[in-house]
Amino acid sequence: MNPKTPLYKHTSILLAVAFVAGVGIGSISDSLKGNQFQTSVIQNSAFVRSLGKKATLQNVGKTLAYDVSEGEIIPDLAGNSTDLTPDDLRPVEPKILPIPGVETNLVENSQPTVVIDCTYEKPSKVAYKATSVTQSQAFSAGLGDLIRVSMVYKNEGNTPWFSDASGCKNSVVQLGTTRALDRVSQFFNGANDSGWAANNRVQLTTLRVNPGEEGVFSFDMQTPMEEDLFREYFSVLVPGVKWIDASESYVDVEVGSPYDRTTLLQKMNYLNSSVGASVVDLLGTKSVEIDLSEQKSQLKLGDYVIREFSISSGARKTPTPPGNYHIGFKEQVRIGGASPYYIMPVFQGLVRDGRSFVGYGFHALPSLGSASLRNRIRAALAKGEQVPTQWFNGDSLWSEALDHIGTPRSHGCVRFLPSDADFMFAFTDIGTPVVIHD
């Protein structure tokens, strides 16, 4: 092979995965302790073994191709899998917090060899918005390896972005670590050409990104000197101004061979912070905690929170009663027994400890539907068929309830967004303990 020829020119070793809008998820059903267990993996990525060399993710039009200078490509984790509802690896938006004005452990970066035009017409109201193009990525590497990662974001705001290396002073944009916010990265590399601006920040490689254009953050990740599956979350920010909402994505790196394939995929499914997957105890006790005052839910394995979702609990006149419960039963769809016959997808009935069903449960956003829709649902359930959420799209109550998440509006049940409810439905078992508190 000609070393100067890009790897994607050699069709015999091409690995390309078409880009899918939104958070791409594939699924694999595995068996854990004799029970069928659904887990998910990243669809827009593949594991790349670097063997001590740099592995670069290149964006080729609408296709993502992995270019490895030397080493083997192992199969895409999403291969031979089917889509799983929900999109259960959907990242949670980081909270907008004050940003320190002084950075630490800054990395020297050379000034650009080209002159960048720093001028632009400042809008009356500046709006920063970034959308991840590459989504989340996964790699496999050895201890202490260097992995070259490229994360691409589209500037969907109304103000240009500038790199630290552009020489421009305003609207400088970086990539910062999250979960916990602005934490020192376990993958930090201090070399001058590493792409890092600090031990918790990555500089924008593209010197200027106008609204509507795509910018690249290309940087080296130095793998830890221990075997584990490590995850690092990042979000786009304007230093000293704000974190850009809904811009979080992450990189997974399997260092060494710490787990068999089934265990690896299960830990990927539950890992929810920038740590090693050893914190996820797959044999830990499952539990659900509902915080009525915060309108939040937490799903836990042992003490580790694998997901946190916003909810909508009972309204003031029809509150959700606090207490200790457990999941008593599950129904793909439950239809209310009295008018107006609410349709409640992925329903989980709550049983107060020591008693019977209390009439409340967990479910996805309800639908008022119609008699014909209810009959259609009953007919599908009688045949053992699935009832897709697409059947509720356009329903007036379904659409209106989207705005209620985060506020108490229900008749006592705890409502979840559809994808969150689906994930929770797959996670819990009959008997899973539930604590509801103010």
Between residues 337 and 413, which one has the greater pLDDT?
Answer: 413
Is 309 found in the same domain as 211?
no
Looking at the domain assignment, is residue 183 inside a domain?
Answer: yes
The pair phi, psi for residue 377, each rounded to 5°, is -65, -45
Is 182 found in the same domain as 41?
yes
Name the residue range of residue 227's domain. Answer: 7-279
The pair phi, psi for residue 164, each rounded to 5°, is -55, -35
Share the mean pLDDT of the chain. Answer: 79
Query: Does residue 263 sit in helix, strand or coil?
Result: helix
Domain total of the chain: 2
Torsion of CA 140, 142, 146, 147, to 10 degrees: 0
Cα angle 154-193-98, degrees, rounded to a multiple of 5 = 55
Task: Calculate mean pLDDT across residues 390-410.
Answer: 82
pTM of this prediction? Answer: 0.74
Is 268 found in the same domain as 344?
no
Is 193 found in the same domain as 128?
yes
Distance CA 84, CA 62 (A): 23
The band of 367, judged by pLDDT with boundaries at 50, 70 and 90, is confident
Give per-residue pLDDT as tens, 414-435.
Answer: 999 989 999 999 999 999 999 9
Is 311 found in the same domain as 228?
no
Looking at the domain assignment, is residue 1 inside a domain?
Answer: no
Q: What is the pLDDT of residue 108?
A: 52
Asked if the peptide bond before residue 340 counts as cis, ω within 30 degrees of 0, the response is: yes
Looking at the domain assignment, is residue 224 inside a domain?
Answer: yes
Is 204 found in the same domain as 65?
yes
Give per-residue pLDDT as tens, 228-244.
Answer: 999 999 999 999 999 99
Q: What is the pLDDT of residue 112?
A: 52
